[in-house]
């Protein structure tokens, strides 16, 4: 939940992205501090055929927690 305490270490953040128009998601940038810094997430799944990216792209980020 928002504002919950997280123990120090590493946190796995997962989500999905969609670019629309049959275009492939090629990169997902994630900010965990309100936009001050950004990290590039790892895209999962198989790469779609160009022009035929009709589904969501799953992504995952291992983020350090202080």
Whether this model's pTM surpasses 0.85: no
* The pLDDT value given to residue 36: 95
CATH number at residue 46: 2.60.40.650
The number of domains in the chain is: 1
- Residue 1 located in a structural domain: no
**What pLDDT is stored for residue 1 in this prediction?**
74
Residue 28: the pLDDT is: 96
pLDDT in tens, 1-60: 778 888 888 989 999 998 888 788 899 999 988 999 999 999 988 777 777 777 788 999
Q: CA 14, CA 41: separation in Å to the nearest integer?
A: 9
**Is the residue at 3 inside a domain?**
no
Higher pLDDT, 22 or 64: 64
In a domain, 4, yes or no: no
Domain carrying residue 49: 9-65
Q: In this structure, is the dihedral angle defined by the CA atoms of residues 5, 18, 48 and 32, taken in order, positive or negative?
A: negative
Cα 57–Cα 61–Cα 65 angle in degrees, nearest 5? 155
Residue 2 lies in a domain: no
60, part of any domain: yes
Q: CB of 42 within 8 A of CB of 59?
A: yes
């Amino acid at each position: 939940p928002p504002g919950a305490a997280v123990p120090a270490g590493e946190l796995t953040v997962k989500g999905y992205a969609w670019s629309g128009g049959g275009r492939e998601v090629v990169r997902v940038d994630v900010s965990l501090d309100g936009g001050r810094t950004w990290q590039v997430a790892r895209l999962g799944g198989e790469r779609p055929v160009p022009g035929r990216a009709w589904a969501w792209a799953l992504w995952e980020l291992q983020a350090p927690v202080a």
